[in-house]
Amino acid sequence: MPTARRPTVSPARHVALLRGLNVGGANRLSMADLAALFEQAGAAEVSTLQAAGNVLLTAAAGEVEAIATRVEAALEARGLGSTVVLRTREALLAAAAEHPFLARGADPARCFVAFLAARPTAAAARSLEPDRSPPDAFELRGRELYLWLPAGAAKTRLTNAWMDSRLGTVSTVRGWKTVQALAQRLA
């Protein structure tokens, strides 16, 4: 009797976006050390972009969540609590394809994307207050909250804490230039 074969899952490219890691101050970790943590957790072809917790990696779709969990545990063991938000190559490229505020004439330097760990419920999405931080604006599309912050990120009331509490998930924000750089590395 022949043995049943398990289908093989091809490795794919992913992006891990870590929240709360910095090059200086609190939660400091070198990108070389971060890349090593991902390799030790089972990822292949690991590279980082900028010193802000942007990691490109290769892993089987069924293994990438476990890798993220192992990295979070390793960071926690170092006293660096951080959440890993994952995107497949295809999902990151889709998010980078078009920022809704650019079509309306917004300055790309004032455009950001909040990557959400999970898709918010419809009720959570309705809880967002469009007039929370004028003249700032946002648009929710799936697991991305596109932000336009004309006065800059430092002056907005559209904070991670507000997004997380309203949407019931973890968010991590990247500037449009960083989103485009990640997309270029994945293309």
Please state the rounded mean pLDDT for residues 102-108.
Answer: 95
Mean pLDDT (whole number) for 160-168: 97
* Percent of the chain that is helix, strand, coil (3-state, to 5): 35, 25, 40
What is the Cα–Cα distance from 123 to 13, expressed in whole angstroms?
32
Mean pLDDT within 117-125: 97
Residue 58 has pLDDT above 90, yes or no: yes
The pTM is what? 0.91
- Beta carbons of 145 and 114 less than 8 angstroms apart: yes
Q: Quick one: which H or E segment has residue 96?
A: helix 89-97
pLDDT for res 61: 84
Residue-level pLDDT at 81: 85
**pLDDT band at residue 28 under the 50/70/90 scheme:** confident
Query: What is the tens place of the pLDDT at every residue in 32-56?
Result: 999 999 999 999 999 999 888 999 9
Looking at residue 50, its pLDDT comes to: 87
Question: Is the confidence at residue 65, as pLDDT, over 80?
Answer: yes
3-state SS track over the chain: CCCCCCCCCCEEEEEEEECCCECCCCCECCHHHHHHHHHHCCCEEEEEECCCCEEEEEEEHHHHHHHHHHHHHHHHHCCCCCCEEEEEHHHHHHHHHCCCCCCCCCCHHHEEEEEECCCCCHHHHHCCCCCCCCCCEEEEECCEEEEECCCCHHHCCCCHHHHHHHHCCCEEEEEHHHHHHHHHHHC
> Domain spanning 11-82 has what CATH number?
3.30.70.1280
Percent over 70 (pLDDT), the chain = 92
Domain assignments of the chain as residue spans, ordered by start: 11-82, 92-186
The model's pLDDT over 133-150, given as tens digits with 9 standing for 90+, comes to 999 999 999 999 999 999
